[in-house]
Amino acid sequence: MKHTPGPWNVNFLKFSEVRAENGLVIAICKPVDSLVTLQANAQLMAASPILLDIARRLAGIAEGLRNGNSSAEEYACRIADEALEIVAKLKGGVR
């Protein structure tokens, strides 16, 4: 199964829309309890392609570590830093 390639972005004129780079609407979030929650849900969905990429790379590192690849540990630290940056952005701050 293949998804629409990223990056995905939140349409800030309509906080509920997540759009692909080509402008097509990927998802429309429905209000749960507040505008803040709606925005947070849309931002999390927009980050999905990046988060999937990080998960795939971490899975590759785990495989490398199992096979005794010593450079996998250094690579893991770089990916962990990227993951921390994404989490900070999703929480509305900077790392």
Instruction: Give the whole-angstrom CA distance, residue 91 versus residue 66.
Output: 33
Exposure string of 8-34, with b = 16+ CB inside 10 Å and e = fewer, is: bbbeeeebbbbbbeeeeebeebeeeee
Alpha helices (H) in 12-70, listed in sequence order = 35-46, 48-66
pTM: 0.73
Task: Determine contact, residues 17/42, Cβ cutoff 8 Å.
Answer: yes
Both tokens of residue 30? 């429905």
Name the residue ranges covered by the structural domains of the chain.
1-43, 47-90
Task: List the chain pLDDT tens, one digit each, 95 residues.
Answer: 788 888 999 987 877 899 999 999 999 988 888 888 888 888 889 999 988 888 888 888 888 777 777 777 777 888 888 888 888 887 775 44
Nearest to 83 by CA among 62, 53, 40: 53
